[in-house]
Structure 1
Amino acid sequence: MTDDDTTASRAGLKPGKRPTINDVARIAGVSKKTVSRVINQSPFVREETRVKVSAVIDDLGFTPDVQARGLAFRRSFLVGLIYDNPSPNYVVNMQQGVLDALRGSGLELVVHPCDRSNPALVSEIRAFVERQKLFGVILPPSVSEDEAVIDVLRELDCPYVRIASVSLDAPERMLVTNDHLGAAEAGRHLADLGHRRIGFISGPTLFRSSAVRGGGLRDALAERGVALDERLVVEGAYTFESGVEAAKSLLALDPRPTAIFTGNDEMALGVFKVARDMGLEIPRDLSVVGYDDLPMASRVWPNLTSVRLPIRDMGRMAAEKLLAPMRGLDPAKLDQPEVRPSLVVRDSATALKP
């Protein structure tokens, strides 16, 4: 009789019989789901339980195959990126970053666009997570800000990482982008160039970043003794088309603003179009500053001054947090740099002519 047979006999198993996950659960005195969590290195297991179950697994020589792991844990090897951001460039950059982190992990990415204003959003996401049996989920803004979505993910025991302009969750489930700091840099830059009549095209109110970026702009202008005229604030939708409509409204004013700060680069390009159609020259007649510093910012003329948000890095960092427990790491203690937006000065903003 081999040592393995002796161990199996002590555990009440027939000699030569391969132990199953049910055997491990019975001997450890836990549920099969708990055993699955231990096998998959879930962060949602107490250390005492993890040690006990791991000891039983070692004693029995239990070795689940890949398919069994997926089935027992009721998870696939898919990471979901659930987004409602209307900027395709933002989404593509985010995907690239997530893929950077997943490479070599055995996990694959599946994307799921959604509409946060849809009354069926929560049930739609529930169905998506259950249908795909997701390993975990990454949530960019603004779906990351929806607490009803978070409640569903917790109910389904689906790991997640949120990306948002301010902290909304525990550190291990949160990547904060500090949007207030970036918008403040843009505001100081325009004020230091001598601009006092500054227009602001915000994002939609559904996005927390809209208010946070607006707050950063206001605070920075106040530091310079400049008040943001609320009549020069227009809500956009983070799309090129909404930038066009907002710019038409602002540039029809008399006097019109001498500078416009937009909540993202897509809307800044809308301002470029309207200015050109009106015969205005940027930056001679109008200074423009965007946000995100997408690749398009350096491909238009004049090159767009923009607040750089490291979107690809953000996707990678969020995915690394999600994968950390699988790699035996504490996601709250990962050595990741803080996401800090920074202003990239180019040619679209200049000093106000006296």
Structure 2
Amino acid sequence: MIIEFAFTTIIAALLLGVPFLRRMYFASLVKGGNTEKGSKRIEYFDFLRGLAIIAVIIIHIGDLFLKNSIGSREIIYFVNDLMRFAVPFFLISSGVLLVFKNPKEFYAKKITRIFIPYALITILVGMFYSLSFFDIAHGILSGSASVPYYFLSVLLQFYILYPFLERLSKKRGFLYFSFILTVLALITKEVWAFYDIPLFIRYLFFFAYGISLKNRFLNSEVSYTKPEKYFWVGSVFVYIIIIILIVIPNVEIGGYFYNTRLFYAIALFNVFFIFKEHIEKFFAFELFSSLGKNSLWIYLIHYFVLQALFAIILKIGNAFYFQYLIFVIFGVPLSVVASLFTKKIYNSFFSLLIIKPVK
């Protein structure tokens, strides 16, 4: 935690204080273009969310080893720190893709597609553990029913605030303000939660970034200058070098980074658009896009699958690297299959009711 706080503060100061870095990091603000929200544009965001959900699963695989004090912390920390683009990718994508024209339609869609499945799973978990009505209700608000659910609580806050933030995004300095506010929140633990309910402030910049650069990322041709390309690609490499040379050797004082990857995630997001034309030709592009389309259900179910599988993995000797490899090889596809199966049951059940099945 100490390293993460220091890393965040120093890099933020450099980005705001050094004119060249500030121009590069916020350069995209001056570029717009016509929004083209065609199927190909949306599919690319499905691909990015597909990558993000796989990263989430891998993070939680490592988390289970850490909680049980098993294996090499250095390896787990390194993989974890590389995967921490996951939640930011989801938030940036949401900021880009959200459209608020009809309030009733907007919130009805979010309730039926996200909140009801999330609340239902939380209720089932609460019933399994014989929790009280109050505890279940608090679990829905706080995301405490399962390790990853905090994000859904944060996401729902952003959906509520979206009309307000969307209007603010037209104000000069909105993105700079959200950046500074996010950095201050990252280093002030007192604003991370309210009565155990995680607050959105630490994640504001990612969502604001997506809203502010909506036109650019939805444009049919996202262009980057040569200095921008070098800056974004170089930023990713610098982050990895810092992780290897500084963070991992000092795991005792905080080598484990969390989902507030304010710089790495933004850089990597832009790198994926720099190489977008090449990535769309990638043989597994359609597969990851499909995972992205089903990312909600994978997010809801995967941790329960991993917990069950981990109990089995522990019985396979005590060779950490072998256990970790087996866990990843089986944990990812089993999480996906279980999630799709659960989604099918949900849709089959609710197709008999008024509620429209999740697409």
TM-score range, shorter chain: under 0.3
> Scaled by the length of structure 1, what TM-score is found?
0.25
Which structure has more helix as a fraction of its residues? 2
> Scaled by the length of structure 2, what TM-score is found?
0.25
Which structure has more strand as a fraction of its residues? 1
Q: Which has the larger radius of gyration?
A: 1
